[in-house]
Structure 1
């Protein structure tokens, strides 16, 4: 079924972004990344105060491959 899309405003896109408008059969990533972040990470806004005293992020990743990427 065809999609009807109104106005679209794109602020920014990175080099590994996927942007699609309308119908699509398959979207596959060309790059993957894994991010580990502790408490208080990724906060945005004005006047944010965060008091964590001692905050540690422990990572124990036993998987060698999380998401394989295959080229068509």
Structure 2
């Protein structure tokens, strides 16, 4: 049966799913962005990474990269 949910206020959510009333299908969405230098995510034994001079620019002038909107 459909449910009626009154006014709500959510100050912050740190992960997880918020469900109000009846639901048939929940599709949580999230995005993230990581800036790291060359060779920083290498894993394993006996690594030998020769990068020379390397720099990472974490400045993002366009602000929005992966917009999550609606329920699509």
Report the TM-score, using the length of structure 1 for normalisation.
0.45
> Max radius of gyration: which structure?
2
